[in-house]
Structures are given as C-alpha cells and as structure tokens.
C-alpha cells in the first residue's frame, strides 16, 4: 500500500462524512442507520476510547480501524437511492458545516446515560 492510495482513501472517506451527515438528516434513512451514525461520530469526537491513546501503537490503532469501519458500515447500510441523492447533494453543496455544539451535546448525553447505567449496576 503506497502513500497515493492512502491519500485517495482518505479523500473518499472525507467525502463519505458529508454523505453520511446528509443521510442522517434525510427523512427516509432508516432509524438504525441514524443510530449507527450517531455512535460513530460520538466515538470519533469522544475523548474516551476503548483503548487509551497513551498505550503505544494500540491506542491509535482502534481509532484507525473502528472509525473508518463504522463509516464504511453506515454507508453500506444506507439504501442506494438515498446514498445517490446524498452524494449528489454533497457534490452540489459548497460545504457542510456541522455545528460543534450539537455534537458536544450528543456526546455529553451519551456518556451521561452510560454513567447512569454503570452507577446503577454497582449501586
């Protein structure tokens, strides 16, 4: 695998982020795909990882595998007609701006729910 193929894959993944954002907002996208998109984006933005980043190599390996795999799975689960429509809208738009506050609220809410269940399990 050379540098050029990695650059091509990174650019394709970057365009897929815009597509899954548009698919998330699309009314015909199945609910389970929307949940997967929220989980993938929350994990990508979350400071808490399955394997802590301070562990050499393994700490970053989960980010390099889980996030792209989640994005690829979300793209595969979105119906073809919705993907085609979202790719067209993504190509026609000048750029998608995601409000950081909404992502922050989702991450905080997700971790509060997890914390609640953990506390109840041990209480």
- Start-to-end CA distance of the chain, whole Å, equals 50
Eight-state DSSP code of residue 8:
H
At 34, is the pLDDT very low, low, confident or very high (cuts 50, 70, 90)? very high
Which three-class secondary structure state does DSSP give residue 70?
Answer: helix
Cβ–Cβ < 8 Å for 108, 44? no
Higher per-residue confidence, 71 vs 13: 71
What's the whole-model pTM score? 0.63
């Amino acid at each position: 695998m050379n540098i050029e193929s990695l650059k091509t894959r990174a650019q394709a993944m970057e365009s897929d982020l815009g597509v899954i954002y548009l698919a998330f907002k699309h009314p015909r996208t199945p609910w389970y795909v929307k949940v997967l998109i929220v989980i993938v984006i929350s994990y990508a933005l979350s400071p808490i990882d399955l394997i802590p980043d301070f562990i050499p190599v393994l700490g970053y390996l989960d980010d390099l595998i889980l996030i792209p795999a989640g994005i690829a799975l979300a793209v595969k689960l979105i119906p073809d007609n919705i993907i085609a429509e979202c790719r067209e809208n993504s190509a026609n738009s000048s750029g998608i701006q995601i409000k950081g506050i909404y992502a922050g609220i989702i991450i905080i809410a997700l971790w509060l729910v997890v914390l609640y269940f953990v506390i109840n399990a041990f209480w």
